[in-house]
Amino acid sequence: MLRKFSFYFNNLALAQKLTILLLVIFVGGITFSGIALANILNYKAQNEITSNALLLLRTLNSVRYYTNNEVTPHLQASLGNEEFSPQTVPAYSSRKVFDALRKDNNSYQDFLYKEAMLKPTNPQDMADSFETEIIQNFRQNKNMQQVSGFRSFQEEKYFYVARPLAINDASCLRCHSTPEVAPKEMIKIYGDQNGIGWKLNEVLGFKLFLYQRMKFCKTLVNL
């Protein structure tokens, strides 16, 4: 086939040859420019989504800090050592705040938030195989503070941003060190295997935002 094309091309007039060459150059240039533009738009969109996700993470970190330092001590004082209220858990507060934010602000409808853990108190926070691999990477690379990329989730492809999650406050170990010292009401709700055995400053999971690929592509178009 290549020989036939070469024979046909060699028998064309000079003007026709130039026309074909210019057409090839034009099509090649358009193709290359399209690929380059798509990559640039893809990079800009990922940066925009990452910036939004990090802003949300900082906001939720503030919620966690407030809950842990202001709300929990007062509630625990009234509850006693044996009783338990989910409002004392920073993860519960951050999830509730994020759910309210998604409900009231259309800009965040396509974001999903999860605190993926290896040994969570709440089973809905259990890390899947993909998330477990990320947690192990965070554990092995102490200096790694963030990862992002694409993953398949609920039959959709999502862009994700993840940051490590560790217990830095010793007071949290009251509920998560051993079943014997944990509030009996918590053990009654979640069992004596969930959220137990945590260690101070150990990476236990990560905070994860997922952004749906379909909406992500629309973001590319709008940039």
Tens of pLDDT, residue by residue over 82-101, are: 788 888 888 888 889 988 98
User: How confident is the model at residue 213, as a pLDDT?
Assistant: 56
Percent of all residues in the chain with a pLDDT value above 70, rounded to a whole number? 78
Nearest to 191 by CA among 124, 126, 122: 122
Number of helical (H) and strand (E) elements in the chain, helices listed first: 8, 4
Whether the per-residue pLDDT at 221 is higher than 60: the answer is no
Maximum C-alpha span of the chain = 96
* Distance between CA atoms of residues 134 and 132, nearest Å: 5
Whether the per-residue pLDDT at 26 is higher than 90: the answer is no
Contacts of 48 by beta carbon, 8 Å cutoff, 6+ apart: 219, 223
* Distance between CA atoms of residues 175 and 186, nearest Å: 8
User: How confident is the model at residue 133, as a pLDDT?
Assistant: 94
User: How confident is the model at residue 54, as a pLDDT?
Assistant: 83
* Distance between CA atoms of residues 195 and 118, nearest Å: 9
Beta-bridge partners for 206: 116, 164
Average pLDDT, the chain: 79
Residue 128 near residue 118, CB atoms below 8 Å: no
Greater confidence (61 vs 221) lies with 61
User: How confident is the model at residue 164, as a pLDDT?
Assistant: 92
- Backbone region of residue 117 per phi and psi (left: phi > 0; alpha: psi in -120 to 50; beta: other values): beta
Q: How many other CB atoms sit within 10 Å of the CB of residue 111?
A: 21
Enclosing H/E stretch for 152: strand 147-153
Q: Span 196-203, mean pLDDT?
A: 87
Whether the per-residue pLDDT at 206 is higher than 70: the answer is yes
User: How confident is the model at residue 157, as a pLDDT?
Assistant: 82
Q: Span 126-142, mean pLDDT?
A: 92
Residue 127 near residue 205, CB atoms below 8 Å: yes
Radius of gyration of the chain (CA): 26
Q: Span 105-115, mean pLDDT?
A: 83
Distances (CA, A) of 108 to 56, 78, 121: 10, 36, 26
* Distance between CA atoms of residues 56 and 62, nearest Å: 10
Nearest to 101 by CA among 150, 63, 147, 131: 63
